[in-house]
Amino acid sequence: MAPVARTVSPAALDRHVDELCGLHGIVRLNGSRGRAEVHRRNGKRTTAIRIPPVRGQVTYFVALHEIGHLIGPGRSGTRLEKEAAAWRWALHESVVVPTDACRRRIGRRLRSYVTWAELRQYRRRPPVLPPPGSPFWSLLAYFEA
C-alpha cells in the first residue's frame, strides 16, 4: 500500500495496525517499547508484536516496523540489514507519508544500531557494518535528512 496522506488520525493508524496484524495472524500485545516475538509451544508457532499504544506517527511506524520484522523481506541478513529491511517495509506499507520530525526520529533509532555496531568492532566476532554504497546508508541518509 502506498502512502496516501500527510495526516491521518491516530485511531485510523491504530486500525491499520490491527488490520495488518489480523491479516497476518500476528498477536498484538501492549508494551512500552516495540518488539517482535515468536513463541513456540506444543509444536505451534505464534508471532506477536509488543508495542506501545498508537498515539501518532512515530508509534505507528514503530508498530509497522515490528510487523516488518515478522513478515517483511530481508529477515535473514545481518542485524543492521534486518533493521533497515523492517523500516523499508514499514515505509512501503504505511498509509501516511512520515513527517520530517517522524522521519528524523526513525533515523535516530536506525543510527543507534550503527553506534551499537561501531562500539563492538573490537570483539573477536564484531557486528557487520554495511559496506559503503550499501542501500542501508541511503536509507539512513533519507531518515536523517
The verdict on residue 31 lying in a domain is yes
The verdict on residue 110 lying in a domain is yes
Mean pLDDT, rounded, for 140-144: 96
Residue range 68-111, pLDDT digits in tens: 999 999 888 899 999 999 999 999 999 999 999 999 999 999 99
Considering only residues 115 and 32, tell me which one the structure prediction assigns the higher pLDDT.
115
Long-range contacts of 4-8 (CB under 8 A, 24+ apart): 4/95, 4/96, 5/95, 5/96, 5/97, 6/96, 6/97, 6/99, 7/96, 8/95, 8/96
Number of independent structural domains in the chain: 1
Mean pLDDT, rounded, for 43-56: 93
Instruction: Report whether pLDDT(67) > 80.
Output: yes
The verdict on residue 79 lying in a domain is yes
The verdict on residue 4 lying in a domain is no
pTM for this model (two decimals): 0.91
Cell digits of residue 69? 520484522
The verdict on residue 123 lying in a domain is yes
Cell digits of residue 53? 499504544
Give the phi and the psi of residue 8 in degrees, each rounded to 5. -140, 145
Q: What is the DSSP-derived secondary structure letter of residue 32?
A: S
Instruction: Report whether pLDDT(43) > 70.
Output: yes
68: containing domain: 10-144
The verdict on residue 3 lying in a domain is no
Instruction: Report whether pLDDT(5) > 90.
Output: no
The verdict on residue 1 lying in a domain is no
The verdict on residue 2 lying in a domain is no
What pLDDT is stored for residue 4 in this prediction? 58
SS3 of 114, please? helix
